[in-house]
Amino acid sequence: MDVERRPGRRGRVALGPAGETGPVAEFARRLWELKRAAGDPSYDRMRDELGALASKSALSAAARGRQLPSWETTWEFVRVLAVGVLGQDEPAVLLEWRGAWEKAREPEAEAPGALAGSPGEVAARGSSPAGEPGFPARRRWAAYGLAAAVALVLVIALAFVFGGTPDEPAAAGDVSEFVADVTVPDGSAVAAGSRFTKTWELRNAGSVGWIGRYLVRSGSFGGPDQCRTPDRVPVPYTAPGEHVRISVDVQAPSAAGHCQVYWKMADSEGHLLLPDARAVFFSVRITP
């Protein structure tokens, strides 16, 4: 039984992997050590107070070592502890942990029944581990080596599918593609109380023209006063195959911390138009 009881704490307290061996168990031990270094917060606290976007069950399973967690779960586990609690540099943390996750994943990719193709091709087809509790299956690209990991920093704005139950199914041929962070790359430092403009470049990769569309704010990491923005910003008319730049004005909070805000494409009535597409977001460090 991988639990223990400690004086002054009620209920079961999860432990890391005990007797397991191998790359997945070693990766889980690293997650567990990070959790202990950050003061051993409960999984409830990691979600409710620290802002992890993965479920309690997914966070708990990640540190047990029985199955490699998806990269989405891993990053939420690491982000709130290494960056949010310990104050480590977000781009450096991202590169370190993405590399460790890829290393732990190598034997899994070689196992019978694994998806064929390069790591990037497998990730593009959607290679999140099946059956992971409490975290929806999401597609994400993978990268080997430093150059690919650096590229991940630039495109992580499309890392998460975010939002509730969609109001409208995606129309056939309606496809968006993230191109670049034009301004304020993720992990940028901005001064407390300052204003800045975040701009993304997207491409209409489908056969449906974008008319009367908006990016709507669909959630955030941090308190409601962290990084104030409009609730929605217009998407200029974009014909199939064209690129478009979309900007949002942001008011940084008055105190140092971290700010991450997600956006989804919707019509003028707020109905999500690409419910299965990844959300775009900006992620900045607020400095005194």
Which residue spans of the chain are classified as CATH 2.60.40.10?
Answer: 176-287
pLDDT for the residue 127 = 36
Long-range contacts formed by 224-233: CB under 8 A, 24+ apart: 225/253, 226/253, 226/257, 226/258, 226/259, 226/286, 227/251, 227/252, 227/253, 227/259, 227/261, 227/282, 227/284, 228/253, 229/261, 232/266, 232/270, 233/263
> For the ranges 40-44, 143-147, 175-179, which has the lowest average pLDDT?
143-147
pLDDT for the residue 31 = 92
Enter the pTM of the model. Answer: 0.47
- Protein fold of 176-287: Immunoglobulin-like (2.60.40)
pLDDT for the residue 124 = 34
Average pLDDT for 98-103: 88
Average pLDDT for 142-149: 40
> For the ranges 36-50, 83-97, 126-140, 212-226, which has the lowest average pLDDT?
126-140
Average pLDDT for 213-224: 78
